[in-house]
Amino acid sequence: MKKIGITGQSGFIGTHLYNNVKLFPQEFELVPFKKEYFKEPEKLDFFVEQCDVIVHLAAMNRHKDPEVLYKTNLELTQNLISSLERTGVAPHVLISSSSQEERGNLYGKSKKDSRERLVQWAKNTGATFTGMVIPNVYGPFGNPFYNSVVATFSHQIAHNETPEIEVDGDLKLIYISELVGEVVQKIKESKTEHICHIPHTAEAKVSELLHLLKNFKEVYQDNGEIPSFKNSFELNLFNTYRCYMNIKEHFPVKFEQHTDDRGSFVEIVRLGIGGQVSFSTTVPGITRGNHYHTRKVERFAVIKGKALIRLRRIGTDEILDFELNGDEPAYVDMPIWYTHNIENIGDEILYTNFWINEPYNSEDADTFFEEV
């Protein structure tokens, strides 16, 4: 079992890497890291001494003064090297660099110089080192106006703001889960690559991204329809967009109920894609679920009885509660990386319709159990 430490553990890439590595407790053990360690040499030394693998992600991405950004990133890397030298350990070190390495700006220079300093340390010690040059990364929970244009546009559109295109450039993109998969593979291979270029998985102009995100707003957020996806990139972008909506304010969404002397009719989900539809009955006091998905789109629709749906984003403590009543049928959609459950809080049997965008596959269920 490899012990893995992640500097920048609480950042965008670090959080996703940490949460994904947690899914393989039989292969990896995580060594916790806090950013304060860079200012406390004893704690940093204790951290590096425990690690078989260190993924160095800690860095500043933006600052109004490029010189501060450059100095900060070099200092973080040098602090790590100094700790490695003090302790005399030689774990496999991986660093995330940027495709901006060759663009001549101080951010790109800070990433290149950091990588090259670690290359020299690895040569001096004989340690395994992997210098990863990665394309533009997008995905859920990135910080708007900081991590990526996708995060910025998604936040703005979801909150009824108007994004502006500064430069309609061509972007080479990789989804965060795809990047994490590449990093985990590099950890497993455990071989020295002073520089390796992680391939992008999609290309799009900034204007194309904006068009897709606006479409998600109109079709899904405003009208409740699951849009069609031409490819995995559009699905990944959709799952990214959903995480920037105000979940607590948006859900539950009430259905339009058509009633006459025969009874009532409710449309549960309008689809641009297929998937699997099912329903369940739940006796009073019983809770179903307590799991999360990393890629699936899922809708819970309560049509009879009283239910409490609860959601909690993995790695956080805040629980979102939604009470639904079949007298006013409504639904809640499950964002990825949110563990969720549904409880019958009424006195009669609860009837719930479930829709998910892909049929269940026991060999690739994308279902991970964790109590809300």
Per-residue pLDDT reduced to its tens digit, 101-143: 878 799 999 999 999 999 999 999 999 999 999 999 999 999 9
CATH number of the domain encompassing residue 85? 3.40.50.720
Strands 136-138 and 129-134: unpaired
CATH number of the domain encompassing residue 349? 2.60.120.10
- 72 and 183 assigned to the same domain: yes
Q: What's the domain count of the chain?
A: 2
Q: Of 184, 172, 236, which Cα lies nearest the Cα of 22?
A: 184
| Domain, as residue range, for 326 | 247-369
For residue 154, being part of any structural domain is answered with: no
pLDDT digits (tens, 9 = 90+) for 29-41: 999 999 999 999 9
Q: How far, in Å, CA of 218 to CA of 331, rounded?
A: 18
The last residue of a domain, from among 180, 202, 224: 202
Query: 212 is written with which tokens?
Result: 């897709």
For residue 161, being part of any structural domain is answered with: no
- 255 and 352 assigned to the same domain: yes
Contacts of 43 (CB under 8 A, 6+ apart): 34, 36, 37
Average pLDDT over residues 11-17: 97
For residue 313, being part of any structural domain is answered with: yes
pLDDT digits (tens, 9 = 90+) for 219-274: 999 999 999 999 999 999 999 999 999 999 999 999 988 888 887 778 888 888 78
* pTM of this prediction exceeds 0.95: no
